[in-house]
Amino acid sequence: MKKITLAVLIIVSLMVLTLATPVFACTRPKTTIVPCKFTMVGNSVGGDFSPGKVWWTNDNSILHVIGASAKGLLFLSPTVEIGTMKNTVSFDFNTKTGIGYGIEIWDMTFIAPVYYYTGQPTGSPNPYGLGTLDGITIEKVTSVFGLVTGLGIMLPGDTTGQIIATHGTGDFEKAKLSADVIGKPMLLPSPPYPANEWDEFAYVGWDGVTPAITGTLTFHT
């Protein structure tokens, strides 16, 4: 009798699980994955920049920077701006080995696309959405912007890392950005730019050369 009772209980339990499974499946959040790439360009060397705390150790061979910040623009193409950003960075860099490591906090605001310089709307929607998205980048630093350009602005120059952004507003309230980031200081052509004008380029979700997209935006609904 006990064996029969146990068998009945097992069968009933399996039936309950079978009936409950579709319910659980229906309550799972829906996800949409969007390939994502854009370029961050630091404002010109005279732009909004805060040096943070800067000092040298080991006979001035190791640079330390805490809390430096700068502003930049987000671009979908060289002429189409899709947002603004502010980043705050802390890093160490060894001038003898040419290697350092840093952490950057990204505060991004995505807007309706406008044409760079004119600020006129393009009439096209932002392919990623509108709102703010905050992220963090852990990066390897192989040059320092100020040391490369001679401008004294101690920010990471050549870098490789990955950005993870999981907190946002608007369309990004339940979104996650995951992408490789490649940073490069670049001397802009003169003309049309003033002589010896350098900007920092950070390629998010691509390498800045090939059209391949490696970044992803995951939206949960």
- Domains observed in the chain: 29-220 (2.40.480)
Q: Phi and psi (nearest 5°) for 61? A: -105, -15
Q: Phi and psi (nearest 5°) for 45? A: -55, -20
CB burial of 78-104 (b: ≥16 within 10 Å; e: otherwise) equals eebbbbbbebbbbbebeeeeeebbbeb
- Per residue of the chain (221 residues), what is the pLDDT tens digit? 444 444 434 443 444 344 444 444 445 668 999 999 999 998 654 557 899 999 999 999 999 999 999 999 999 999 999 999 999 999 999 999 999 999 999 999 999 999 998 999 999 999 999 999 999 999 999 999 999 999 889 999 999 999 999 989 999 999 999 999 999 999 999 888 888 889 999 999 999 999 999 999 999 98
Of 75, 175, 81, 72, residue with least CA distance to 129: 175
Please tell me whether the peptide bond between 191 and the residue prior to it is cis, using omega within 30 degrees of 0.
yes
Contact assessment for residue 168 and residue 131, using Cβ atoms and an 8 Å cutoff: yes
| pLDDT given at position 48 | 77
C-alpha to C-alpha distance for 145 and 120, rounded to whole angstroms: 31
Q: Which two tokens stand for residue 186?
A: 């670049």
CA atoms within 13 A on the CB side of 106: 34
C-alpha to C-alpha distance for 212 and 214, rounded to whole angstroms: 6
180 Cβ neighbours under 8 A, 6+ residues apart: 160, 161, 162, 204, 205, 214, 215
| pLDDT given at position 191 | 87
Element spanning 18, H or E: helix 2-27
Q: Which pTM does this prediction carry?
A: 0.84
C-alpha to C-alpha distance for 17 and 104, rounded to whole angstroms: 47
